[in-house]
Amino acid sequence: MQRTISEDLKVWKDSALRKPLLVRGARQVGKTFVLRELGKNYSHFLEANFEESREIHQFFEGSLKMLKRASPEKPLDQAFHKRLLDALKVYLLIGGMPEVVRAYCDTRDLRACQEILSDLLTTSKKTSPNTKRRLQRCY
Q: Is the dihedral of CA 83, 88, 89, 93 positive or negative?
A: positive
Average pLDDT, the chain: 77
Tell me the mean pLDDT in the region 113-122: 88
Q: Residues 124, 135: contact at Cβ < 8 Å?
A: yes
**Residues 130-137: contacts with CB within 8 Å, 24+ apart?**
none
* Rg value, the chain, Cα: 19
**Residues 86-94: contacts with CB within 8 Å, 24+ apart?**
none
Q: Tell whether pTM > 0.75.
A: no
Tell me the mean pLDDT in the region 127-135: 63
Tell me the mean pLDDT in the region 18-25: 78
pLDDT in tens, 69-88: 777 887 876 776 787 788 88
pLDDT band, very low/low/confident/very high, at 98 (cuts 50, 70, 90)? confident
Identify the pLDDT of residue 35. Answer: 86
Burial bucket for residue 40 (CB in 10 Å: 0-12, 13-18, 19+) = exposed
